[in-house]
A and B are shown apart, each in its own frame.
Chain A
Amino acid sequence: MTFNEKYILNLIEKEQRTDGRTLMDYRKIKIETGISKNAEGSAKVTIGDTEVIVGVKLDLGEPFPDTPDEGTIIVNAELLPLSSQEFEAGPPGTEATELARIIDRGIRESKAIDFKKLALIPGEKIWMVFIDIYTINHAGNLIDASALAAAAALQVARFPKVENNKVVYGEFTNKLLPSTKLPVTCTVSKIRNKFIVDQTLEEEGSASARLSVALIDGKIHAMQKGLLGPLTPEEVEQMIDIAIEKERELRKHLK
């Protein structure tokens, strides 16, 4: 995958990319919900050739002692070995853990899901919202694809049936999981001295730094700078501006 590094760098200097996109173009985005029947909510997102699926499962549990009347979200991500030559079977490594935590922060800090609305019996039984992210084909930009898929899955998630304060697995209600606008994440990568969005796998290999920004209507709820290269404050500001610009376009894909 690194043969083309020089070629990619030369093109980027000329503000072009290997697939003909401009620096600010996303590849084609498709979202499909309800792809797995046993999930309370599920979605599949493709951005170009990258494909990610997210499933939401709801179950009852005991609240944390310091927040007796609040439910919670638990985000897990797996970089499945079937999605790329590079991934090996095994427990989530650092990349998968980072992915899960970035998605978690966006949803948690934006308060798009009001945890207080997830208490079935305050002090005793609360709803745990499991958000499980799985990569199906890794062609770059897993963060943005995962964030979109998580948002789409949460939008259609409904509560399972409850009897005697226990979940009846496999039976669902029509009551949707309550949520307000969910965050959209845009990742901006720095290659040489240019910025691009929606990096392909090859471009990821050539980037010196990336900044992922989770936004709701221009307000920043989570950020993550990744990779080894440093960024000046001016560069950070430019990258945030790009992300804010892109939010509108990305949000159009969510109903």
Chain B
Amino acid sequence: MGELLVQNKDIVIPGEKLATGMDFLPSNGSFRSNEDVLAQQLGIVNITGRSIRIVPLTGKYIPKEGDNVIGAIADMSFNNWYVDVGSAYQAMLFVSSVPEYIEKNADLSQYYNFKDIIYAVISKVTRSKVIELSMKGLGYRKLFGGKMITVMPSRVPRIIGKQGSMITMIKELTGCKIIVGQNGRIWIYGDIEGEKAATEAIMMVEQKSYKEGLTDEIKNFLESRRKIE
């Protein structure tokens, strides 16, 4: 029993009724109240089977285990660094979680110093939402040079694209190295024109993420930029 009151891609506000009855199940961004499913966040409806979830349109990064993130060293203690990943919660990187072998009582700033930018993975999120990072694994490292831009975390999937199709295309057409963090931080490294074009392309995807035919539009934009040079 139950009735679906919205459809895919509808914009809903907190408190709005999405469905009546126990047939439908609340997922991320929605909750059950009495026998109804309601929206808990401003966002776009996404229905899979009986599960209704809300894809947020705005909001800060909510850390999840397994997310690849880009952060900056904010502080350090005797056996860990504190990393700013754009979340309200502390992110900690312990000496035991970096690829280098570090002796006891070593000077941590020799390895990762204040304001250094790193690419890491969230290995754990504790109950009190303290984030633990790890840099053990392929690709995780300190990032030198280039520029960092910030986009809304909710748009990251679109910027990456299906199986990385969007971001791979942007990399190819601009000749830049690009790393996208799930926390909305994106590192871009290339020549000045390439970095500019990549930045603009990514900003375009961020703003138009729900549009159809976006991949082609970005492709055309970048190709015409290349012709100008």
Bound together = yes
Identify the A interface with B (CB < 8 A).
2-7, 14
Please determine whether A7 and B115 come into contact, CB atoms closer than 8 angstroms.
Answer: no
Which B residues from 122 to 179 make CB contacts under 8 A with A? Answer: 145-148
| B197 on the A face (CB < 8 A) | no
Checking B72, B145, B192 against A3 with a beta-carbon cut-off of 8 angstroms, the contacting residue is B72
Quick one: CB contact mask for B108-120 with A, threshold 8 Å, 1 for yes? 0000000101000
Q: Which of B72, B115, B146, B147 has the most CB of A within 10 A?
A: B147
Sample of 11 more A-B contacts, CB < 8 Å, known A3-B148, A5-B115, A7-B148:
A2-B72, A2-B115, A3-B72, A3-B115, A3-B117, A4-B147, A4-B148, A6-B145, A7-B146, A7-B147, A14-B192
CB contacts (< 8 Å) of A5 on chain B: these are 115
Tell me the complex Cα distance, A3–B148, Å: 7
Residues in B with CB closer than 8 Å to A7 are: 146-148
Q: How far is the CB of A7 from chain B (nearest CB, A)?
A: 4
Interface of A is mostly: loop
A5–B146 Cα gap in the complex (Å)? 11
Q: How far is the CA of A136 from the CA of B117 in the complex (A)?
A: 31
Q: B185 — nearest CB in chain A belongs to which residue?
A: A3
Q: How far in angstroms is the closest Cβ of chain B from A132?
A: 32
Report the minimal beta-carbon distance from A10 to chain B, rounded to whole angstroms.
Answer: 9
Residues of A within 8 A of B192 (CB): 14
Question: Considering the chains assembled together, what is the distance between the CA atoms of A4 and B188 in angstroms?
Answer: 11
A-B complex: 4 closest residue pairs judged by Cβ atoms: A7-B147, A3-B148, A3-B72, A4-B147
Q: What's the nearest-Cβ distance from chain B to residue A33, in Å?
A: 32
Measured between beta carbons, the chain A residues less than 8 angstroms from B147 are 4, 7
**Minimum CB distance partner of B146 in chain A:** A7
Q: Which residue of B lies closest to A2 (CB)?
A: B115
Which chain A residue shows the least CB distance to B115?
A2
Bound-state Cα–Cα, A5 to B72, Å: 12
| Distance to closest chain B CB from A204 (angstroms) | 17
> Please, which residues of chain A bring their CB within 8 A of the CB of B146?
7
Q: State in angstroms the CA–CA spacing of A6 and B147 once bound together.
A: 8
Q: Closest residue of chain B to A8, judged by CB?
A: B147
Complex Cα gap A6–B117 (Å): 12
Q: Give the docked Cα–Cα distance between A6 and B187 (Å).
A: 13
A14 to B192, CA, bound (A): 11
**Could you write out 14 A-B pairs with CB less than 8 Å apart?**
A2-B72, A2-B115, A3-B72, A3-B115, A3-B117, A3-B148, A4-B147, A4-B148, A5-B115, A6-B145, A7-B146, A7-B147, A7-B148, A14-B192
